[in-house]
Structure 1
């Protein structure tokens, strides 16, 4: 079997579970199979937003992050169930236990997807045979569908797994990139979101192929080091290794400042907090990382030092978010004593490419607050036309 594996390169699998939360609910309750199903918060009150939905629901236009009232409007027969995170974590552990039977080089990316380096796993068969065996086992043993990408690196494996859903297996080689990836719109590339795609279009980049051929200096000016990295990926190059320990090794990025004169007012503390937030944000963006946990350190004139932290609802590298949250922490725990040193640390870091909005029960409650407004806007548009409500801009 070794002849089916490259002599110098690697063979990477990206295993991506299909509609994971909905699939888990179907595995526990087979009567839900084949029906339009959405997992969302507080379904009895039609509040909250859709976390995920079955492919049957997607046919009606139901999408992730859509308010329940809108999903119900598009699909009156939609079955809405609340999330069961303990159940999802249990099944996630079972999934990765199966993957680790084939290789110790398994890197979880999130609860329902991960990378595998099977370069030395040839005793299990060819790469396609291993992928087929994994997919069958996940289906037969856990009753969970999956899609798998096979490629020489992580980026191409991720792109491949997205090409055929549900229950697909796709091989993507570097030589396939010009034909299979370059014609695609740039926003379909893993790691390019709507905002980044909009920026790229300002310099004439419409497709992945345009990005692959773009000028490095222009990209660096527009997006920083991330722009150059995206160009490399668009050309099918990615030297990141599959790291089993990455899920446990969440490094931090922090900055602290000993003040020339002790700060004695909220204005002074806010000014220092802003400077620190700018530095932390800049370093996060340089490394392509987002933080999910912020902490502040306050050292008073008497050298007494405290640290306080806050978990974030969604990953961020925004200087505004970091400054706002850090400032609130500082002012909440400042006792009026002059401050000698302030520090901000971004913790529990995730790669920007892999980050996704964490939709938990707390997020549902926050999102639900704006639903009455959204519903009213929708009714106005239906009655008076889509142009009746436009986005407003502040006057200068």
Structure 2
């Protein structure tokens, strides 16, 4: 009989706010919040302390509303360098127990501790890790313990702050089935709405459907949801998964609503520059470009275009993004713009496709390539390489709190 896996999901509690309180102990016990830009009318809270939450304040709440609900709230600008350092220290600590650590964001990750603990020892280990993070880094966390990643993630959300929760597969009908589908990890508002069209309101309703029905209605995603409703998740804890970047994007909220094309063009230019800079730093290109437009009444519109060859240069991103804007923007006031390049791949590893337009260029290179091949045979394969890659340190000053560039630290 195969031994059940023992998976931890660690979720740092109010991470940015906790880092600020660790750096400045005078902030402990006070209502604090980190805001994208506290001075802008459109500024929103990136995170807030539990003291602020007790007053009705929550993440993504506009700054002006947070001040109304909690006049004594202390607003702080983001300090991403500090958060990245704290994140790295946190994951270094986790890796001191096992190499099977998978970061999934700056403040959460999975551990597979199957090989280092047995049975009830898992709770003791979780307590030890939780206390060590608190004592050494002054950072609180919640830990979910389960036989797979989905259940571990679900468990860590059940008790905050400083909670440790065990969720067993046999408990799924009792604990998860009564919940609304929107409360299932991985189900957003649009998916919940689609499930409702099939009379699926709760996780239990989803579990009562057949796997065949879910595949027929929602394809592979429907099957994955059905499996989760039964507590099934076959994903392994993969330390290498952090390098699987699927998209690179940036968004920006305007201090005033955008109603003129020239202002939208200026914002698209800034966003395209940021996206291109990050793509170049990571040697990536992508075959799909998407724009996001959020109106002053919070209506979201996304439009995309796909290319045969990947793009990564600023002028290409900017040109295609503006084409989409001109085609789909109806001049309704905009509060936010976003530009994303997705379906990305490593430009260094991608084989260039020869075509009627570039074969001559490669023909010119042939004598040089033959010489390189001869030298490599004589002195070794790595003695000469086409092109030299120089590591770049990305500029994080323009990053958003939702950027995954912290993963470069790993």
Q: Tell me if TM exceeds 0.5.
A: yes
How much does 1:123 deviate?
8.7
After superposition, give the CA deviation of every residue in 1:133-170 in whole Å (9 maximum; x if it has no partner).
Answer: 00000000000000000000000000000000000000
How much does 1:232 deviate?
0.1
Alignment match, 2:46: 51
After superposition, give the CA deviation of every residue in 1:329-352 in whole Å (9 maximum; x if it has no partner).
Answer: 37838xxxxxxxxxx961279xxx
How much does 1:86 deviate?
0.4
Moved more, 126-135 or 66-75: 66-75
Check conservation: 1:150, 1:170, Cα contact below 8 A. yes
Partners in 2 of 1:308 and 1:114 — Cα distance?
Answer: 27
* 1:155-194 aligned within 5 A: 155-194=150-189
Change in CA separation of 1:109 and 1:123 when aligned onto 2, cut-off 3 Å = same
2:361 aligned with 1:347, yes or no?
Answer: no
Check conservation: 1:12, 1:151, Cα contact below 8 A. yes
Change in CA separation of 1:25 and 1:251 when aligned onto 2, cut-off 3 Å = closer
Change in CA separation of 1:195 and 1:251 when aligned onto 2, cut-off 3 Å = closer
Alignment match, 1:14: 9
Check conservation: 2:289, 2:317, Cα contact below 8 A. no
Partners in 1 of 2:106 and 2:167 — Cα distance?
Answer: 24
How much does 1:222 deviate?
3.8
Q: Structure 2 length as normaliser, TM-score?
A: 0.63
Partners in 2 of 1:238 and 1:363 — Cα distance?
Answer: 31
Structure 1 portions without partners, runs of 5+: 1-5, 253-291, 296-306, 334-343, 350-359, 365-396
Alignment match, 1:277: none
Moved more, 177-186 or 124-133: 124-133
Stretches of 4+ aligned residues off by more than 3 angstroms: 44-47, 215-218, 249-252, 292-295, 307-314, 318-321, 324-331, 360-364
Structure 2 portions without partners, runs of 5+: 248-273, 278-284, 293-299, 321-340, 347-396, 402-410
SS at match of 1:39: strand
Q: Structure 2 residue aligned with 1:62, among 57, 61, 67?
A: 57
Change in CA separation of 1:330 and 1:52 when aligned onto 2, cut-off 3 Å = closer
Check conservation: 2:286, 2:344, Cα contact below 8 A. no
How much does 1:197 deviate?
1.0
Check conservation: 1:293, 1:310, Cα contact below 8 A. no
SS at match of 2:221: helix
Change in CA separation of 1:116 and 1:50 when aligned onto 2, cut-off 3 Å = same
Change in CA separation of 1:124 and 1:23 when aligned onto 2, cut-off 3 Å = farther
* 1:193-272 aligned within 5 A: 193-250=188-245
2:112 aligned with 1:117, yes or no?
Answer: yes
Partners in 2 of 1:310 and 1:323 — Cα distance?
Answer: 6
Change in CA separation of 1:21 and 1:141 when aligned onto 2, cut-off 3 Å = same
* 1:71-110 aligned within 5 A: 71-110=66-105
SS at match of 1:43: coil
Q: Structure 2 residue aligned with 1:131, among 110, 126, 129?
A: 126
How much does 1:72 deviate?
1.0
* 1:22-61 aligned within 5 A: 22-61=17-56
Alignment match, 2:304: 322
Alignment match, 1:384: none
Change in CA separation of 1:191 and 1:162 when aligned onto 2, cut-off 3 Å = same
Change in CA separation of 1:331 and 1:75 when aligned onto 2, cut-off 3 Å = closer
Q: Structure 1 length as normaliser, TM-score?
A: 0.65
Check conservation: 1:149, 1:157, Cα contact below 8 A. yes
Moved more, 121-130 or 134-143: 121-130
After superposition, give the CA deviation of every residue in 1:194-234 in whole Å (9 maximum; x if it has no partner).
Answer: 11111111211111111112233443344321111011011
Change in CA separation of 1:91 and 1:331 when aligned onto 2, cut-off 3 Å = closer
Check conservation: 2:288, 2:343, Cα contact below 8 A. no
Partners in 1 of 2:77 and 2:217 — Cα distance?
Answer: 42
Alignment match, 2:140: 145
How much does 1:41 deviate?
2.0
Partners in 2 of 1:37 and 1:114 — Cα distance?
Answer: 25
Partners in 1 of 2:149 and 2:128 — Cα distance?
Answer: 20
Alignment match, 2:349: none
Partners in 2 of 1:330 and 1:40 — Cα distance?
Answer: 29
How much does 1:363 deviate?
6.0
After superposition, give the CA deviation of every residue in 1:84-136 in whole Å (9 maximum; x if it has no partner).
Answer: 00000000000001101111100000000000000011299810111000000
After superposition, give the CA deviation of every residue in 1:222-256 in whole Å (9 maximum; x if it has no partner).
Answer: 4321111011011000110000011123368xxxx
Partners in 1 of 2:137 and 2:291 — Cα distance?
Answer: 30
